[in-house]
Structure 1
C-alpha cells in the first residue's frame, strides 16, 4: 500500500511545480520533500517527476498517479471523518434488545432521545422474549430479566437497572377489588390467567413466588403475553399477576392490588457489549435507562 503522506507531498509538488513551492506549502524543508518524492518513486518503481528549467513537472506516469492519488486521498479523508464521527457518536448503528413490557414503557422515549442527541445513529430494536430462543442479531445493549440459571456472556458487562415488583390484577367487581394490598397466599383459591410462556423469566419468578406462598395457581386461560392476559381480566374471566412495568396502560375494568408476604419481583439489567461501552450513544442509552428507573 502506498504511503498517504508521500502521495500528499507528491501532489503538492505537482500543484506548485517545484520542490521549494511544495516545501513552503507543507511547511517542510526542501530536503524532506525531495526525500519523500524519492521514496515514493522507489515505492512505485516509476519515474514520477522530470526537471524543467528551475522547476519540475510530472511525467506521464506521474500525472496519472497524481490524479488517482487525489481520489484515494479524498476517500481516506472521508474514512477519517467517519471514524471521528463514530468515536463521537454522530453516526453508526446501535442494536438494542428488549422484552415486551420494556419495549412499551421505555423504547419510544429512549429512541426519541437518541434521535435528538445522535440523529445519524440508526437504532435497531430486537425483541428478545419471543418463543424459539435468542434473536438472530446479538444486541449491543440487551435489556434482560434475571433468571436463576444464567451467566454473563463473554465480551459483555452486566449493568443492574431496577427491581420490578409484581402486583395482582383483578376485575373491578372482584371481592378484593377495594383493597390496597394482600398476602399472595390469599389468592390461592382464585382462577388465574397465565401471561407468559412456561420457562420464560416472568413465569419463573411467578412460580417461585407461588411456591413460597404455599400454593399452585389454577389456570383457566393460558395467554402468552401480558396484553392478552389483561384483556381476559378486563372481561372478568380471572386474575393475573404482573410486574409493575407491564401495567402502564391498564384496561378500564380492572383494579390493582399490591402483594405481600412474599413480594414477588423481577430484577432487570442491561447486558452491554464491551466493544461499544465507551460509545457516546451507548452511554446515552444507559444514562436514559438509569434516569427512567431511578
Structure 2
C-alpha cells in the first residue's frame, strides 16, 4: 500500500522542481525529502524523477503518479476536513450540484431547509449540466436529467424526483395562446427560438419528439439559455419549447401551452453518493428536493 505522506512529498517535489525547493515549502530538510522520494520509488519499483541540470523532472511514470496523487490527496483532504468538522462539533459538509432551471425553481427551498435545520453545515454548490465521468469529481448529490439506461451503479444511487413535460412558450397575443394544449405538429410552421445551443440531452429529446410528429423545427434564433429564449419570445421573435420547470419565472407578455401528441418528457433525478447517503445534510437535501419537485 502506498504511503500517503510520501505521495505528498513527491507531489511537492514535482510541483517545486527540486528537492531543495520542496524542502523549503514543506519545512523539511532536503535529506528528509530525498529519503521520502527514494522510499516511494523503492515502494513502487519505478523511476519517478530524473535530474535535469540542477533540478529534477518527473519521468513519464512520475507524471502519471503525480496526476493520480492529486486525486488521492483531494479525497484525503476531504476526509480530513470531515474529521475536523466532526471534532469541532460542526455537522460536516455537503457538495451539491444542479442544472440551471433547477437553480431558480428549487435551490432556494433546498438551501433554506439545510441551513435552517443544520446551521453548522458547510455547503458547496456548483452549476453543472452534465455528470462528470470520473467518480472522484462528482459531488455528494447532483440533480440531473437522466435516461433510464444511465441509472445506478458505481457507488451512486439515483432517486427519481420528477417527470417534467415540455410546453410551448408563446407571446400572449399568439393565435395558439388561448388553447389548453396544442399538438406538437401545430407548431411545425412557426418561428422557433432555440434555447439550448449546447445540444444537450434536453434538446435532443425535443428533436426526437418532433421527428415522431413528422417534422424538424426551423430555428430562426439561437439562445444559450432559457431566460434569453423567453426574452426573445416576449419580444415577439418566435416561440420556444422547453420543460415546464423552465417556466418558473416567465416574463410579462408571454404564456405557455401544454404540448401533446407526443409530449416530450425529461426525467429528473437526485444522484447521491452511497458513501454520503447517511450524512444528515444529504438526507435533509434529498427531502427538500422531493418537496420542491412535488410543488410542480
TM-score > 0.5 by shorter chain: yes
Instruction: Report the counterpart of residue 279 of structure 1 in structure 2.
Output: 279
* Aligned counterpart, 2:227: 227
Q: 1:141 to 1:80 in 2, by over 3 A?
A: closer
Aligned pairs for 1:159-174 (under 5 A) are 159-174=159-174
- The 2-side partners of 1:98 and 1:261 are apart by 30
- Match for residue 97 of structure 1? 97
Structure 2: segments with no counterpart, 5+ residues = 1-82
Find the aligned partners of 2:191 and 2:84 in 1 and give their Cα distance: 63
Q: CA deviation at 1:292?
A: 1.8
Q: Does the 8 A contact of 2:232 with 2:238 survive in 1?
A: yes
Q: Distance in 2 between matches of 1:148 and 1:259?
A: 22
Computing the radius of gyration from Cα coordinates, the structure with the larger value is 1
CA deviations on 1:85-118 (whole Å, 9 max, x unpaired) are 5xxxx52211111000001111111111111001
2:60 matched residue in structure 1: none
How far the C-alpha of 1:198 sits from its partner, in A, is 4.2
Q: What TM-score do you get using the length of structure 2 for normalisation?
A: 0.66
Counterpart for residue 82 of structure 1: 86
Aligned mates of 1:106, 1:195 — CA distance in 2: 20
Per mean C-alpha deviation after superposition, the further-off stretch among 104-113 and 147-156 is: 147-156
Shift of 1:202: 1.2
Asked if residue 185 in structure 1 is aligned to residue 185 in structure 2, the reply is yes
Per-residue deviation, 1:197: 2.9
Provide the rounded CA distance (Å) in 1 between the counterparts of 2:133 and 2:85.
39
Aligned length: 212
Question: Partners of 1:81 and 1:240 in 2: how far apart?
Answer: 47
Partner-residue secondary structure (3-state), 1:289: helix
What's 2:110 paired with? 110
Q: CA deviation at 1:82?
A: 2.0
Aligned CA distance change for structure 1 residues 81 and 228 (closer, same or farther; 3 Å): closer
SS of residue paired to 1:120 = coil
What are structure 1's unaligned runs of at least 5 residues? 1-78
CA RMSD of aligned residues (A): 2.5
How far the C-alpha of 1:284 sits from its partner, in A, is 0.7
Q: What is residue 257 of structure 1 aligned with on the other side?
A: 257
TM-score (norm. length: structure 1): 0.67
The 1:134/1:276 distance shift into structure 2, 3 A limit, reads closer
CA–CA distance in 2 between the matches of 1:232 and 1:284?
38
CA distance in 1 between counterparts of 2:287 and 2:209 reads: 31
Q: Secondary structure at the match of 1:266?
A: strand
